[in-house]
Structure 1
Amino acid sequence: MKFTVVIPTFNRAQLLKKCIDSIVVQTHPADEIIIIDDGSDDETEQIISSFQIRQIKYIRQQNTGQMIARFNGINMASNKWIALCDSDDIWEPNHLEVLNNVIKSYSDLDLVYSNFYEFGSASTLENKLQTAPAQWLEKSIAARENNTFFHQDLFKHLLYFTPIFQSCLAFNKESYFEFSAFSEEISKQNLGAEDFYSILIFALKGKVAGTFKKTVGIRKHMANHSASAAFSMEGEITIIQQILKENNRHPVVIDCLEEINNAIIQRQRALSYLYYEARDYKRFNAVLRAIPFEFKNMIKKCHLHLLSYFISDKQ
């Protein structure tokens, strides 16, 4: 199987070099590597030029955001199967070989993915699939062969746990466009977790398989964890609501409306907690209005109101 690799990047020159280093040594070589430079003003172009490799295609564009940059790369891809990688992540040498084996294990697949681990200054995870909730794997897997598995009812299960990450997956390009796995509406909003949209669409409309093998390292940077988590949670809520709006007549969506609404409320509650921890009264109050009444949240609201009063009074 021939793979096109698509890498969107913005001002990550040194990290990008490590990413490309991990891709060009694959035991199942990539046929094409498309790097979309989303308007970087660092040494990105020089780093890419240092790789004298025929498979690499470098495209520079004005800054439009990662989602559009990735879409442009997908649109340019020459091969049927496209593997994605963020420019700060790395692949183990057997990543494409493992994905190729998953593709060969089941017929007519639309998306495949591998397991992953985290690395970097803020890493906490050694094996993503091992963190799955009780019974999640058993309920979401229809068939299993050695280290590979084929999913069933994945859309519903992804609402509660998402082991699929952008840098770990590959998909059929024809299916991507047939399913409309890119949302122009979502791309305009600069959301956290924007890749969640495409993953949910593939789970809703396509056939998905994976592997327990860890073949990808996801870099976790030292950052404001609460702010980053809130940004991602906001994005996931918006994406689920958008998919519900666009696919409200799809039989799977109709069948699991209760699970969809519960998933949104669950995320809103988590988001309210993050805003409470951050002492962000305005955003906490806005989320509070969207979720069912809970006495403990009213206590938190009073607490934040008093804090904001005393802080403003001192100023």
Structure 2
Amino acid sequence: MDTSPAQFSHTTVLLHETVEGVLTSPDGIYVDGTFGRGGHSRLLLSKLSPQGRLIAIDRDLEAIAAATEGEGRIADARFSIIHSGFADMRAQLAARGVEQVQGVLLDLGVSSPQIDNPERGFSFRFNGPLDMRMDTTRGESAAEFLARADERQIAEVIRNYGEERFAVQIAKAIVARRAGGSPIGSTDELSEVVARAVKTRESGQNPATRTFQALRIHVNGELEELEQALSAMLALLAPGGRMAIISFHSLEDRIVKTFIGGHSKEVLDRRALFAAPKALALQAVARIKPSEAEVAANPRARSAVLRVAQRTDTPLPAEHHKRRRGER
């Protein structure tokens, strides 16, 4: 079977909305922290001036290959890509002499080439090794985690990251199979175990959906990485610069919403009650969902939420608030 990156296609979610949200100056330096197959990067690069610059980051070697090899490579002197997780973006950029940027974007979804490649083990729709690592050069695979973790640890991961109410039953079934001499090593094997343990499920949803999500989040440390990345983004942004983040499930969006909200409030110093409040670090700009047309054309977009925020050292004027689009 041909599992080269070129075999799998990807439709970028909220493409124009994200680029329009993050772009404030064509002369600036921008960061795409999740290059994937480069949809956002390519459009953003097309809107930059000759003085602009785009630095992409991805921890998936197949994404790096998509940017640097073959007919689809980006041969542009304004573009560079780094093999790294986006949580390390501040250190990675500092090592290249970049201390401030005009914008940073993150697309937190798993790309279609990752999902559709059976060898990556992200989907219950295809049988393959139960890997799930974004960066296959390091870390523990999902199969390795299930082979060594105890029942309590497995249940906590499935419950906390998958919001799965049958987490305990699923964990018991996984450990029982392992104790019987047949540890889970493939996506089909995990799907079958979950299907037997989950007695009811929402209409139209595969019983294994939440378990696969939970294991992927755990194996890749996705929520911890997101929290670290948001702090790095805030530190990198120049005044007036923007961050744009696309989330695909409630756990991610809650972290993004809480971070933006927490840095969008004036802070009073209780030790100096008559002092001016501390200036805002961020101002929420937009919350955008895909249109009905986009969801119809690309069903994987249905759960996406884009949040845009702007770096500011002072509160934005009142008229700015009237222009905000659907902000919650």
TM-score (normalizing by structure 1): 0.25
Higher helix share: 1
More strand by share: 1
TM-score, structure 2 normalization = 0.24
